[in-house]
Structure 1
Amino acid sequence: MITVRKAAERGGADHGWLQTAHTFSFSNYYDPAHMGFRSLRVINEDVVQPAHGFGEHGHRDMEIVTYVLSGELGHRDSMDHASVLRPGEFQRMTAGRGIRHSEMNASDEQPVHFYQIWLLPERPGLDPSYEQKAFPESERRDAWQVVASPDGRDGSLRIHQDASIHLATLDAGAELTRTLAPGRHAWLQVLKGSVELNGRALETSDGAAVSEESSLSIKAGAPAEVMLFDLA
């Protein structure tokens, strides 16, 4: 079963300095039919204008993964990390018992476009921790590249949940498949371009929940970048 979540149907707002779209209920957007999927709780697509951002605020008991599509995102947190996240780089923050951080556009000239994803952790009260890593684009060209996993396999970030995140960049006409183990579920998010998922058309910023499917076939109509979540 595949359930498509069209980009235009998402919640969100245009605040001037921030254009945000929420796949699932978040902040002032509430839809009881879209509260999350499996351990996925938040998929937000944000564009922050130059020299703006989110001031210091707190989180707890959440696995937070951030991926920048364009621009530069500055990060500071209460664990004394200070960094800039650039295209092709992923950040994983385990909020655990509690953490405070801020996120700002690191540029005075260009907007920053990024996805932020929250997953429920395997248990509450984890030790807060942080990772950031760049993943070479060449290793996901028409191939799956694991960027986050429970065991940090193949150099991926470690998330504290039975879930893995995979990225792929597809040339027009390229096709990828993926087998889902019995009882597993998936979410596909189209970051750029257009694809067909088991024959279902998806455009930029569309997503799709997958259950009770043994295999996935993703074929790019136009050059595309997709993110796939393999979920318990």
Structure 2
Amino acid sequence: MSAFDLRPSASRLSTRTEWLDSRHSFAFGQHYEPDNTSFGVLLAHNEDVLAPGAGFDPHPHRDLEIVTWVVEGALAHSDSAGASGVLRSGQVQRMTAGTGVRHSERNDSADRPVRLVQAWVLPDATGLDPSYEQRDVRELLAGGELAPIASGLARHDGADVIRLHQRAAGLHAARLPAGGSVTLPVAPFVHVFVTRGAVTVQVSGAEGRMVLGPGDALRITGADGRQLRADVPAEVLVWEMHAAAL
């Protein structure tokens, strides 16, 4: 039987500085919540807004898959393994920290903020070589379907997706017109996040509904393929996971 845990945007932990507004779905940084440290293989799920020209100076990571999606604006990335790029709306990026890497992330605009969503995923192996991959997926999303965009799942082997070093997880995205609908994955753990617009998820019978707006998240345990419908034009990110980090 499916269990539903709605996490409204306003309930998330937050970190604010002069140049950063960050909202955390799980315990993060100075925020400690022992009963909210992960979901499936997700260890972090942050929504960040960076001021023009501002960003994170070089800092280290190890044994993580870091997946980034830009909602608005442009994000410049560079790392100690020699990778660099600018990520814009409709593009997805994966950095494998592996044995250790330092990277920086900065708003690539001098006059507009950048809004992004970043997830940290537990890989299924340690000691990997650091690596980086970025892909434009706008064409995949043009039809209003729920499309895999980054995945380690066996059924996506050979598909045109960014590869994750985690065989139990995949990230899907959809850009839905008003009235459009998709079927959520069947999996032990499904994490739904709304970046724009508003959607309704069927939770029980014909009348049971949950409405999610921008920044809202829904954690589904024992997901059995519920329908998600856009009330207005919307963008959603959906993690499908078949294992848990802890």
Is the shorter-chain TM-score for this pair beyond 0.5, marking a shared fold? yes
Q: Give deviations 1:4-60, integer Å, cap 9, x for gaps.
A: 111111001221211110000111111122111010011100000011100000000
Amino acid aligned to 2:178 = A
Shift of 1:179: 4.4
User: Please, which of 138, 146, 164 is the counterpart of residue 148 of structure 2?
Assistant: 146
User: Please, which of 102, 105, 108 is the counterpart of residue 103 of structure 1?
Assistant: 105
Comparing 205-214 with 16-25, which one deviates more in the overlay?
205-214
Q: Residues of 2 paired with 1:209 and 1:42: CA distance? A: 13
> What secondary structure, in the 3-state scheme, does the structure 1 residue paired with 2:70 have?
strand
Q: Residues of 1 paired with 2:18 and 2:42: CA distance? A: 28
Cα gap change, 1:202/1:61 in structure 2, threshold over 3 Å: closer, same or farther?
A: same
Amino acid aligned to 2:120 = W
Partner of 2:176: 170
Superposition pairs of residues 27-38 of structure 1, within 5 angstroms: 27-38=29-40
Comparing 204-213 with 131-140, which one deviates more in the overlay?
131-140
Cα gap change, 1:95/1:46 in structure 2, threshold over 3 Å: closer, same or farther?
A: same
State percent identity of aligned pairs.
38
Amino acid aligned to 1:178 = L
> What secondary structure, in the 3-state scheme, does the structure 2 residue paired with 1:80 have?
coil
> What secondary structure, in the 3-state scheme, does the structure 2 residue paired with 1:154 have?
coil
Q: Give deviations 1:51-95, integer Å, cap 9, x for gaps.
A: 110000000010000011111111110111121111111110010
Give me the TM-score of the superposition, normalised by structure 1. 0.95
Q: Residues of 2 paired with 1:131 and 1:87: CA distance? A: 16
Amino acid aligned to 1:202 = L
Partner of 1:75: 77
Q: Give deviations 1:177-212, integer Å, cap 9, x for gaps.
A: 13415xx32111111111111121111111111112
Q: Is the 8 A contact 2:151 2:164 kept in 1?
A: yes
Q: Is the 8 A contact 1:88 1:136 kept in 2?
A: yes
Amino acid aligned to 2:173 = L
Superposition pairs of residues 209-224 of structure 1, within 5 angstroms: 209-224=219-234
Give me the TM-score of the superposition, normalised by structure 2. 0.90
Partner of 1:156: 161
Q: Please give the root-mean-square deviation of Cα atoms over the aligned residues, in Å.
A: 1.3
> What secondary structure, in the 3-state scheme, does the structure 2 residue paired with 1:155 have?
coil
Partner of 1:185: 189
Q: Residues of 1 paired with 2:16 and 2:114: CA distance? A: 15
Q: Residues of 2 paired with 1:179 and 1:7: CA distance? A: 23
1:230 pairs with 2:240: yes
Equivalences, count: 230
Q: Is the 8 A contact 2:190 2:223 kept in 1?
A: no
Q: Residues of 2 paired with 1:228 and 1:179: CA distance? A: 9
Q: Is the 8 A contact 2:141 2:173 kept in 1?
A: no
User: Please, which of 13, 21, 24 is the counterpart of residue 23 of structure 2?
Assistant: 21
Amino acid aligned to 1:143 = E
Q: Is the 8 A contact 2:145 2:175 kept in 1?
A: yes
> What secondary structure, in the 3-state scheme, does the structure 1 residue paired with 2:141 have?
helix
User: Please, which of 195, 210, 232 is the counterpart of residue 199 of structure 2?
Assistant: 195
